[in-house]
Amino acid sequence: MIIGIDLGTTNSLVAVWEGEHARILPNALGNLLTPSVVGLDDQGQLVAGDIARERLNTHPHLTTSLFKRYMGSARETLLGGRAYRAEELSAMLLRSLKADAERALGLAVHAAVISVPAYFSDAQRKATRIAGELAGLKIEKLINEPTAAALAYGLQQRSEATFLVFDLGGGTFDVSILELFEGIMEVRASAGDNFLGGEDFDDRLVEHFIAKVGSADLPDTAQPAMAQRLRREAQRVRHALGQAQDARFTLREQGREWSLELTQSELAEIVRPLLDRLRAPIERALRDARIKVADLDEILLVGGTTRMPLVRKLVAALFGRIPGMLLNPDEVVAQGAAIQAALHARHASLEEVVLTDVCPYTLGIETSVQLGADYQNGHYLPIIERNTVVPVSRSRTVSTLRDNQKVVTLGIYQGESRLVKNNIFLGELEIPVPPRKAGEVTLDVRFTYDNNGLLEAQVHLPINGDTRRLVIENNPGVLAPNEIAQRLAALEALKVHPRDQQINTLLLARMERLYQESLGDGRQYIAGLANHFQQMLDTQDERQIREVRVDITQRLTRFEQEV
C-alpha cells in the first residue's frame, strides 16, 4: 500500500486510492486535516497535529510550526534544547501521519508519494525525500502540488490541456500554469507570494478589531496568548462570513467584553490590500508561460482559503469565468498524491517535467527605511526574487544615508521576510566611499545567481569606479548520508505519542491553553475541570473517562464562547 501525502505548510493530509476514488484518511482524532505542527511533550514523546498546535503558546520551546518554509536550508530550530533541521521536523510530522494512516487502515505502511510545491528546488526536493526516509517511509515519488490537483480533477484523461492552479493556503499563495501534452504534464511557470495566505487575512481582521474597539482599555494584545486568542477569533469570524452576511468578533476578559459586528462587505474592505496582492503573481505566471487568459482550459482552486467567497469572486473577475469548486480545495492535493501512488503501483505514473532551474529564495540586502525624520535599519531590499529562472543577474541602486559617510556595509540575505532578522544571513560586502552629503554617493549592487547555486554579489561605485565582489556558495547543503544515519537514529529513539491516548491528551492540552489564557475565576474553573479529568484518567476506567471527556468538552466550548 502506497499512501499519498500532502505535506502542507499549515495542514497535512493522507489519502489512499480505493479503486474508484481517493479517500482522505482521518487521523486518530477523527479529523481529515492534521495541523503541520510538531513538538515534544513533557515526557519527551513526539506530539504532532492538533495537540502540538494547542501547545504552541503554552510550550513554545517544545513546539514548532511553519518548518516547510525552511526545507532545503540549513536553518535549525531548537526543541527542548536540541537543534532540528526542517527535514527532521517534517519527519516528525510524517511519522505521526504514518501512525495515523496505519491506525485508519489497520495495516503497516512503508511507502508514500509526497507532494511538493512546483517551485521547490532540487535541494528542497532532496530534503523532502530525506524527511520521508527519516520517518521510515520509502518515497516512491514526489509530485508537484498543482499536478496533484490536476490528477484529482482527472485532467490527465484529456489529450491536451492548459490550465492554471490557484493555490491559496494558510500562509502561502502559489500560482502554477500547467500544460498537458501527449501524456506529459509540464509546469510552464510558477509564481506566488510566500507570505500571503489565510493567516494574513486573520491578522488584518485582528488589527481592524483593535483599531475599532479602541486599544486604550484593551488587555495587552501583543502578549502571545492574547494575540493567539484574537487570531483564533478572527479565523472563526472569517470562516463564518463565508456563509453568513454578518458575524460578531468578540473578546471577553475578566467580566469585560469588547465586541464588533462585521459584515461581508466590511471584510472585503479590510482584506482588500491582500486581495490586490493576488493579481501580480497571476500576471507574472501568465507572462512567463506566454499564455493568455483566453488560452486557459481550466482554472483549479486549491487551498483552504479559496473557500472564501471573496477570493472566488476575485478569481471569477480576473479570469472572466466562474471557477469550478467540485472538490474540496484543501483535499485535492492529497487526493492527487494518492492517485499518483496508485499509478505508480501499476507502473504507470504520469510523467512530469519539473521546473527546478529557478532560484528558490529571494536574495537581497539590508536597507534602511525612513520613518518620520529617522531612518530605521534592518529592512529587506529584494534583488533577485524567488522563483526567478536561473542563471540570472539583477541590480539595484542604493545611496549613502549620512553626511560624510566613509564606508558602506551591505548585509546579504536570503528569505522572504520584510525584516532581515527573520531571513538567513549569507555574508557582507564592505566598500569605502568618498565623503559627500547624504544620498550623493550612489552604489550599484548586482547579484548574479547561476545554475550551481552560486551567488555573486558585486557593488560598484560610479563616482570613482571602485568595485567589490563576494562569492557566496548559496547551497546550504543537503544532509550527507552519514548525517542522515545519525539523525535517523536520534529520531527513532523518540517515542511517538500513543494513538489511543491522542484524544485525552488533546483535551488536557486544550485545558492547559485555556488556563494560561484566562485569569481569576475562569482559571479556577478550568483548573477544576483539568484536575477532575486527570483523576478520571488515573482510574483507567474507559467508560467513565469517555463520559467525563464529552461533558468537559462541551463545557470548554461554552467557556470559550461565553466567559
Q: Which residues are catalytic?
A: 6, 68, 145, 167
The span of 117-125, 166-174, 176-184, 279-287 binding Mg ion (CB under 5 A) equals: 166-174
Element (DSSP H or E) covering residue 258: strand 256-263
The whole-angstrom separation of Cα 141 and Cα 132 is 11
Helix (H, G, I), strand (E, B) or coil at 454: strand
- Please give the residues from 179 up to 208 whose contact with ligand ADP meets the rule CB under 6 A: 197-199
Least distance in angstroms from the C-beta of 185 to Mg ion: 18
Least distance in angstroms from the C-beta of 303 to Mg ion: 5
For ligand ADP, give the closer residue by CB, 168 or 359.
168
The span of 1-9, 181-189, 232-240, 495-503 binding Mg ion (CB under 5 A) equals: 1-9
Least distance in angstroms from the C-beta of 118 to ligand ADP: 13
Helix (H, G, I), strand (E, B) or coil at 374: strand
4 binds ligand ADP (CB under 6 A): no
Identify which of 44, 86, 73, 36 has the alpha carbon closest to the alpha carbon of residue 61.
44
308 binds ligand ADP (CB under 6 A): yes
Helices (H), 255-396: 264-276, 279-289, 309-319, 332-345
Tell me which of 303, 336, 360, 522 binds ligand ADP, using CB under 6 A. 303
The whole-angstrom separation of Cα 253 and Cα 225 is 12
Tell me which of 2, 7, 8, 552 binds Mg ion, using CB under 5 A. 8
Tell me which of 2, 4, 10, 285 binds ligand ADP, using CB under 6 A. 10
The span of 161-169, 249-257, 353-361, 365-373 binding Mg ion (CB under 5 A) equals: 161-169
For ligand ADP, give the closer residue by CB, 264 or 395.
264
323 binds ligand ADP (CB under 6 A): no
Least distance in angstroms from the C-beta of 333 to ligand ADP: 7
> Rounded to an integer, what is the distance from CA 409 to the centroid of its chain?
33
# chain residues binding ligand ADP, by CB under 6 A: 21
Identify which of 202, 291, 280, 190 has the alpha carbon closest to the alpha carbon of residue 238.
202
Partners of 2 in the beta sheet? 111
Tell me which of 3, 4, 9, 340 binds ligand ADP, using CB under 6 A. 9
The whole-angstrom separation of Cα 473 and Cα 15 is 39
305 binds ligand ADP (CB under 6 A): yes
Least distance in angstroms from the C-beta of 169 to Mg ion: 4
Least distance in angstroms from the C-beta of 326 to ligand ADP: 16
For ligand ADP, give the closer residue by CB, 146 or 522.
146
For ligand ADP, give the closer residue by CB, 173 or 533.
173
The whole-angstrom separation of Cα 400 and Cα 30 is 59
307 binds ligand ADP (CB under 6 A): yes
Helix (H, G, I), strand (E, B) or coil at 325: coil
- Please give the residues from 216 up to 235 whose contact with ligand ADP meets the rule CB under 6 A: 235
The whole-angstrom separation of Cα 332 and Cα 168 is 13
The whole-angstrom separation of Cα 64 and Cα 106 is 29
Q: How far is CA 106 from CA 18, 20, 103, 497, in A?
A: 15, 20, 5, 18
Count Cα neighbours of 13 within 13 Å in the Cβ-side half-sphere: 25
For ligand ADP, give the closer residue by CB, 34 or 340.
34
Count Cα neighbours of 265 within 13 Å in the Cβ-side half-sphere: 0
Q: Which residues of 309-423 form beta strands (DSSP E)?
A: 351-353, 358-359, 363-371, 374-384, 388-389, 392-399, 407-414
For ligand ADP, give the closer residue by CB, 277 or 549.
277
Q: Residues interacting with ligand ADP, by CB under 6 A?
A: 8-11, 169-172, 197-199, 235, 238-239, 242, 303-305, 307-308, 330
Q: Residues interacting with Mg ion, by CB under 5 A?
A: 8, 169
